[in-house]
Structure 1
Amino acid sequence: MATLIKPPPADASKSPIESVLELKQLTDIDPGIFTNTRPLWHPPGARGIYGGAVIAQCLAAAQRTVRDDFSVHSMHCYFVLAGNAEIPIMYHVEKVRDGRSFATRTVQARQRGRPIFTTTMSFVRENSGGAERVEHAVDMPTVPGPSEDLDIPQQDNSPFQSQRIHILNHESGRPQDKKTRQWIRARGKISPSGGHQAHLSALAYMSDSYFIGTVSRVHRLWRFSTSDKDGKSTIDSSVLEKLRDMDDDTLRRMQGMDEDVIMAIRNMKDINSEEQRRPEVGMMVSLDHTIYFHSPRNFRADEWMFTEMESPWAGDGRGLVLQRMFTKDGELVATCVQEGVVRLKESKSKADVSSKL
């Protein structure tokens, strides 16, 4: 059973992302316990449910336990176990502290009594920074804006949209110099009843999109298998022809299309050929996730936001990624950090040697 209670009918006044993140407060058991009201998405090939959903629902639960004039400013999370999409999640909120200017909450997401995710959040009272303030922020880079009229294939069940921009410094031999960039927004319109809290939860949900995957992109690793066990291409020829008919900007904005895949399509080469072959990701999962919210009430998650990601370090089977999120007008609204496991799939020759030892 994916939910503890039967999912309620969809509310037409709310956006898809509000529906996905809807929680039920189990007041009769404990006012600090919440549960998901709808099944959570398990991405194809992933070890568990989409991490952004658990991040966002933990935030949504905590927000319901603080005063309305308090807003989250930082969130530090750890992924403990892979979440099971077939089992309800119980969110346990602990009120750690309620001060004059700051409040602290911890939330533990559990399945079958075991923690799968834990987070600590700090909330700040609105306008508590004083009349005179120290202020600065980095500028948003100059990039092409999002397109409103491109008919871009998206996952039908995704509550948000994204459009990728070319990787900055893609030709560099130094992965740490590259930056992956995209425009992103929640589908539809977030309802007024959701308040600023709904926009913060939506941002948290979207912040996990292709986050640790940045490491694979700057290292030009295949993030999916391009051939079956017999070495035959897994890409249908008719699909490949349709992709070849699209321009580069359209391809770039499609999920899963990085510069090297586009180049392979343009040159009409088999991506399974020796010259196109690259190392494949064997395992890639998030370990932790941090969000600093800079302007918690000055943005709308259902309007285009620009995100830029870079990886300053990778090693010992792990990688680190930094992300900045801006409004379309250039205001920095969040800075995120994530570390994850990034392991390569063993080549067939090495696997054969290992099996004979």
Structure 2
Amino acid sequence: MSTLIRPPPVDKSQSAIENLLELTQLSDIDPDLFTNTRPLWHPPGARGIYGGAAIAQTLSAAQRTIPSDFTIHSMHCYFVLAGNADIPIIYHVERVRSGKSFATRTVQARQRGKVIFTTTMSFVKQDSGGEKKVEHSTIMPDVPAPVEGMDDLDAGGTSTQPFQSQRIEILNNDSPNPHEKKCRQWIKARGRISPAGGHEAHLSALAYMSDSYFVGTIARVHKLWRYSALRKSKTKSSIDEEMLKKLLAMDEDQLKRLKFVDEADLQHIRRLKNGEDLTSGTKPEIGMMVSLDHTIYFHNPRNFRADEWMFTEMETPWTGDGRGLVLQKMFSRDGTLIASCVQEGLVRLRQPGESKL
């Protein structure tokens, strides 16, 4: 059973992302215990649940334990074990400190008694910085505006994702240096987040979406093949095998219209369609790619809407020793920097001798 308690009917007054991230407080056991109200998404081919769900639900749980005039300003997360979508998650909030200006919470997500995810968060009291402040902010780059009605995630025509995404061409994509490239996209929650959700719902939605394509930046700037090659392997790909089947069914014109498919992907798809042997003479292929940790710094936590277009820009300063680091800046559409994120991920190539179907 994927939830501890039978899920209630979907609340039509709430957006899809609010319903997905809803928590049930286990007050009869402990007021600081929570569980997922609804089943969580396990991306096809991934090792476990979508990481953004754990990030967002731990934030939601912590927000339920702090005064209304305190707001999250940073959270530091570690992915410990893959989450099983078929088992309920128990979130335990520990009230580490509740001061006059700052409050600290840790949250552990557990399944079958084992910690699968842990985070420490810091909250700050509103307007505690004083009347005079030191202020500056990086400027959002000049990029094409999002196109209403277009959704890169909806390649199959029936996307079940609670958010929309539109990719923009990679900046400096022809550079021989991966660290000079920047992967960019517009993103927003589907529908309208309800007034009852307050600013907390928008923050949880942002946390959920911050994990979208994040560690995948490394594969994109190195132009590595990012889709499962329908192979037999002891390690699962972090990419959707069902998506590969859809891509192989599309013609050239359809593929070129997909912003998330770059020229390196097109070349690989052509070879697959031609029945070529991809075990020799081809570019390296991702064997395993998973997130290890995730940090978010919230800069303007009450001055944005997650159901309106937000611009994100991702770059990777370093990759090596089977790991990679990615940095992300998130802006509201008016150019306000609303969050900065950092993620380190495990990035392993498929090794010689790993068989394919």
Further displaced range: 204-213 or 262-271:
262-271
Further displaced range: 187-196 or 140-149:
140-149
Aligned with 1:303: secondary structure? Answer: coil
The residue number in structure 2 matching 1:87 is 87
Q: Is 1:35 aligned to residue 35 of structure 2?
A: yes
Give unmatched runs, 5+ long, in structure 2: 233-243
Q: Is 1:301 aligned to residue 301 of structure 2?
A: no
Q: 1:258 corresponds to which letter in structure 2?
A: D
Q: 1:15 corresponds to which letter in structure 2?
A: S
Q: 1:179 corresponds to which letter in structure 2?
A: K
The residue number in structure 2 matching 1:355 is none
Deviation at 1:270, TM superposition (A): 4.9
The residue number in structure 2 matching 1:121 is 121
Q: Aligned partners of 2:185, 2:16: CA distance in 1, in Å?
A: 21
The residue number in structure 2 matching 1:200 is 203
Q: 2:214 corresponds to which letter in structure 1?
A: F
8 A contact 2:108–2:117 mirrored in 1: yes
Deviation at 1:11, TM superposition (A): 0.4
Deviations 1:181-231 (A, max 9, x none): 1100000000000000000000000000111111111111112234657xx
Q: Aligned ranges for residues 273-292 of structure 1 at < 5 Å?
A: 277-292=282-297
The residue number in structure 1 matching 2:22 is 22
The residue number in structure 2 matching 1:60 is 60
Q: Aligned partners of 1:225, 1:46: CA distance in 2, in Å?
A: 10
Q: Is 1:240 aligned to residue 245 of structure 2?
A: no
Further displaced range: 258-267 or 298-307:
258-267
The residue number in structure 1 matching 2:241 is none
Q: 1:114 corresponds to which letter in structure 2?
A: K
Alignment CA distance shift 1:111-1:277 (3 Å): same
Q: 2:308 corresponds to which letter in structure 1?
A: E
Aligned with 1:204: secondary structure? Answer: helix
Q: 1:57 corresponds to which letter in structure 2?
A: Q
Choose which of 226, 236, 258 in structure 2 pairs with 1:251: 258
Alignment CA distance shift 1:11-1:311 (3 Å): same
Sequence identity, in percent? 66
Aligned with 1:97: secondary structure? Answer: strand
The residue number in structure 1 matching 2:162 is 159
Normalising by structure 1, report the TM-score.
0.89
Choose which of 318, 329, 332 in structure 2 pairs with 1:313: 318
Q: Aligned partners of 1:15, 1:203: CA distance in 2, in Å?
A: 14
8 A contact 1:47–1:82 mirrored in 2: yes
8 A contact 2:151–2:165 mirrored in 1: no
The residue number in structure 1 matching 2:177 is 174
Alignment CA distance shift 1:299-1:264 (3 Å): same
8 A contact 1:49–1:83 mirrored in 2: yes
Deviations 1:48-75 (A, max 9, x none): 1000000000000000000111100000
Aligned with 2:295: secondary structure? Answer: strand
Question: What is the CA RMSD across the aligned residues, in angstroms?
Answer: 2.3
Alignment CA distance shift 1:118-1:264 (3 Å): closer
Further displaced range: 33-42 or 218-227:
218-227
Q: Is 1:345 aligned to residue 353 of structure 2?
A: no
Alignment CA distance shift 1:321-1:236 (3 Å): closer
Deviation at 1:251, TM superposition (A): 1.3
Q: Aligned partners of 1:322, 1:24: CA distance in 2, in Å?
A: 33
Normalising by structure 2, report the TM-score.
0.89
Give unmatched runs, 5+ long, in structure 1: 353-357
8 A contact 2:225–2:264 mirrored in 1: no
Alignment CA distance shift 1:47-1:227 (3 Å): closer
Deviations 1:246-292 (A, max 9, x none): 485x411x4xx234225667999859576993211111111100000
8 A contact 1:292–1:334 mirrored in 2: yes
The residue number in structure 1 matching 2:134 is 134
The residue number in structure 1 matching 2:4 is 4
The residue number in structure 1 matching 2:107 is 107
Deviation at 1:76, TM superposition (A): 0.2
Q: 1:311 corresponds to which letter in structure 2?
A: T
The residue number in structure 1 matching 2:235 is none
Q: Aligned partners of 2:324, 2:11: CA distance in 1, in Å?
A: 40
Q: Aligned partners of 2:324, 2:151: CA distance in 1, in Å?
A: 34
Runs of 4+ in 1 over 6 A off after TM superposition: 263-269, 273-276
